[in-house]
A and B are shown apart, each in its own frame.
Chain A
Amino acid sequence: MRRWFHRLGRPGLHTSYAEDSGIFANNVQRSIAFAAVVGFILLAFLLDEPDDRVWLLLLSTAFVYSIGSIGLNLVTGYAGQVSLGHAFFFGVGAYAAAALGGSADGEIIGLGLDMWIWIPGAGLIAALAGALVAPIALRLKGLYLALVTIGLVFLGEHIFRSWTELTGGQGKGREPAQMSLFGYRFDLDGNLAGIAVSKEQQVYLVTFVLMVVLTLLAKNLVRSRVGRAFAAVRDRDIAAEIMGVNLTRYKVVAFAISSFYAGVAGAIFYSITGFVEPNAFNLLLSVTFIAMVVIGGASSIAGSLMGAFFIALLPKFIELVLDWLPVDPTTVTQAITTNQIERILFGVLIMVFLILEPLGLYGIWIRVRNYWKAFPFSY
């Protein structure tokens, strides 16, 4: 066990430049990542019973949350620009995708374009919105920037509710973009290489592939010149500027890339459930993304994934725990539902992680790793 953990390498300790700047520090990490990718793909084919659909939906949600969470982590965790406006960019992406890829034969805006257009298209439109907002970050920092970005969410909510030609209006909503690639529909039951697959299996695979690609791109970004500039801006902006880092440029880049990720996540998220409604893009959604970053671990791509999976699977986990408990608190108190327990836990977890484990789940993983690497001398 100790030797196995040792092979994972020690976080922060790199003995060569290649190790320091590689996406994966060594071959063991690379093999684990590859095995995980293969495992997740195989899982799609193993979960083929109707009862498994809910797991496919939950995991697809986790994949999409991961994309959004990486986006927020890039701007907040890496570049240090606190943003509570992530729900707005998520919404921009959702509606940009719906307009580009939505059905063209209704009263609501829809061009009926293919996935290879609407996924990057939604990301780019959201990135443009992010770039427009970024100049605010040049004037404001910390709490003030957070407050201004909250304003974005309210502004977005109003626009989404009012622009009925695009959004269908509050309480009515609209169909999202169709998951269609060169005429093949992923959002309907179909046939992949001769194997009959449900729409949930297909959506799972599409969201998973997107997550893997965007995760690798993000990993690549943060190890590059841009990533180092982000960290410099976060740690001390004046010092960064003195070193020659162009603050304006990198803050705009950070917001634009973060919004691109949020936009892609928003675009694909509503294709999972098949419906998008303007009320969805509220402050709670922004806080949910913040929770993913805080719980998973700020300035860590792996942490973003961990946080996203944790938040996406939390309701199911609570339900399983409640089933396992000899007494069901929801029937004993008559005043608390599973959803309310989830929200209470949500708040408590954010506080607990901020106070006790600022590095999040990623920090816990590092500690577990170090414990086993030094075993039996772990002190």
Chain B
Amino acid sequence: MKTARTWRLALLFAVLALVAAACSNEEPTATTAAPATTATTVAPATTAAPATTAAPATTAAPGDGVATDVGVTEEPCPGGNPDRGCIYLGILTDESGPFQAASPALVGAKRAFWAGINAAGGIGGAYDVALPDDLKKDTQYNADVFVQSYNEIAGDVLAVAESLGTPQTVAALPDYNRDNTVASPASWWSGWAFDDVDFGLVLEYGASYCFEGMNALDWSMGALPAAGRDAPSTVGILFFPTDYGLDYGAGVKAAAEANGVEVAWEVPVVPIAAGGDPLQVESVGQVVSNPTDIVILVTGPSETGAIVGGAAAQGFTGIFIGAAPSWNVGLLASQAAPAFEAGIFFQSSFVGPWDYDSAGHERMRQTLTAAGVEPNDFFISGWVSQYPILAALTAAYDSGDLTRGGVADAARNLGTVDFEGMTTVADYAGEPNDVAPRESLIGAVDTTASTGITVVQDFFVGPTAQAHDFSVPCS
């Protein structure tokens, strides 16, 4: 009897010990361990680092005199330079929602960008930067999952290299603010220019959707008469009813009012990825039955193909202008290709297309071509987004404070960031009305161009954007 009780007690302790071990709150060593796939497949850039990195001050041992806390280790990055420490950046992307097709290119470009920076000396010659797989989360384009995903990686990252989606990023802002986490948005909402909205932690780049929309319509006022058409007097807007569509649409409407153009209709479009009609019959019907001189498309490439192809097939003779994300070179291989080749579609953008002539584009092309990447506009967006993060990390390192707080301070006092000509210089100091970038460009379909688009109007600011009082977000 006694023996049985002893055994029972021993068993009880063994179970309790197992439970205690399982519930242990010990820091897993894997958090600083080597993630396997960190950009190792991408060839490092052979040219110099962008101007904003400045020359590495020294090749000091990692951490020499530099304060660090979360997301920075003295151990090298997986596969990185053994003499340097490692800065870990997180990625909050969408791998199973409406932007799942864009995600690999956006993330791949970022990894290639940082591989190039690492090859050119890293941050101050003391730290490499890694974007490992275990710090990349699929947020499903869902605000709840986004906040949860951020909190999963929050203890292991210095900053967030991709924060995809406006509502999702807005949801995470209180947590970003509490943790002093700087983030790079994969959205161009005009609200990111305002520090009272994003606490100065979201480092936007390029003209917002809103200014892009203003410039698109302003451009058409002069360009269409120059091409032998009448100056537009009516415009229709097909848009995703999201921050993207509403912000761009607000810009178009402001420009329409300034130019005396009538906004004949605005019709929301359900994204095909979200269960919308693959043939866009309703949208095509709207375009054909209520023809306007210009149709603005604030949609995705799939919708653009269905609408432009369908409307052209039914005899629509007006002009389409699409926002930057509405185009994809794949459209030239679709059934709608003849409509695009007929020259009725133009694309506005905050960044030059793949073949654009700039030092930044050249460096990006070399890096990504060496890695065997097919030209894709999402790579450009992903690549260009990292310049401000690089500038903030470099500034924080130079100030000797590579902690979260140090990087947040650096981001809030960033001043200007040069994108090597890929998009207009950003200025993060001063009021949005004084410093927010307003320049965008216009491209036309060109079957010989790498991404099917060639620039017909280089970076410019239209009169509407120029005169716009940017004291509040457009939407």
Point out the residues of chain B lying under 8 angstroms from A180, CB to CB. Answer: none
For the complex, give the distance between the alpha carbons of A337 and B147 in Å: 18
Q: Which of A273-288 contact B (CB under 8 A)?
A: 273-277, 280
Residue B257 at the chain A interface, CB threshold 8 Å: no
CA distance A359 to B143 in the complex (A): 33
Contact code string B241-254 (vs A, CB < 8 Å = 1, else 0)? 11111100000000
User: A170–B167 Cα gap in the complex (Å)?
Assistant: 9
Say if the beta carbon of A53 comes within 8 Å of chain B. Answer: yes
Contact of B241 among A171, A189, A199 (CB under 8 A): A171
Provided the pairs A51-B27, A171-B242, A172-B242 are in contact, do residues A273 and B171 lie with their beta carbons within 8 angstroms?
A: yes
**Number of interface residues, chain B, beta carbon within 8 A:** 33
A276 (CB) vs chain B CBs: closest residue: B143
A275–B170 contact, CB under 8 A? yes
- Docked complex Cα distance between A132 and B392 (Å): 56
Whether a CB of chain A sits under 8 angstroms from the CB of B166 is yes
A337 engages B242 (CB within 8 Å): no
Q: Is the CB of B167 within 8 A of A57?
A: no
Judging by beta carbons under 8 Å apart, are B138 and A339 in contact?
Answer: yes
B152 within 8 A of A: yes
Does the CB pair A169–B241 fall under 8 Å? Answer: yes
B153-175 CB contact bits vs A (8 Å, 1 = yes)?
01100000000001100110011
| A interface secondary structure, majority | helix
Contact B147 A273, beta carbon cutoff 8 Å: yes
Decide yes or no: A275 and B152 within 8 Å by CB, A49-B25, A171-B241, A172-B242 being known contacts.
no
- From B25, B152, B246, give the contact of A169 (CB < 8 A): B246
Report chain B residues within 8 Å CB of A340.
Answer: 96
**Cβ A171 vs Cβ B244 within 8 A:** yes
Q: Encode contact with B along A315-359: 1 for CB under 8 Å, 0 otherwise.
A: 000000000000000010000011110000000000000000000
- Nearest chain-A residue to B104 (Cβ)? A334
Task: Count chain B CB atoms within 10 A of each CB in A50, A276, A339 and give the residue with the most.
Answer: A339
What are 27 A-B contacts defined by CB distance under 8 Å?
A: A50-B179, A51-B155, A53-B151, A54-B151, A54-B152, A169-B241, A170-B242, A171-B167, A171-B240, A171-B243, A172-B167, A270-B144, A272-B144, A273-B143, A273-B144, A273-B147, A274-B171, A274-B175, A275-B170, A276-B143, A277-B167, A280-B144, A331-B133, A337-B96, A339-B95, A339-B96, A340-B96
What residues make up the interface of B, taking CB atoms closer than 8 Å to A?
A: 25, 27, 37, 95-96, 133, 138, 140, 142-144, 147-148, 151-152, 154-155, 166-167, 170-171, 174-175, 178-179, 240-246, 475
Which 9 residue pairs spanning A and B have beta carbons closest together? Answer: A171-B242, A275-B171, A51-B155, A273-B147, A339-B96, A54-B151, A53-B151, A170-B241, A273-B144
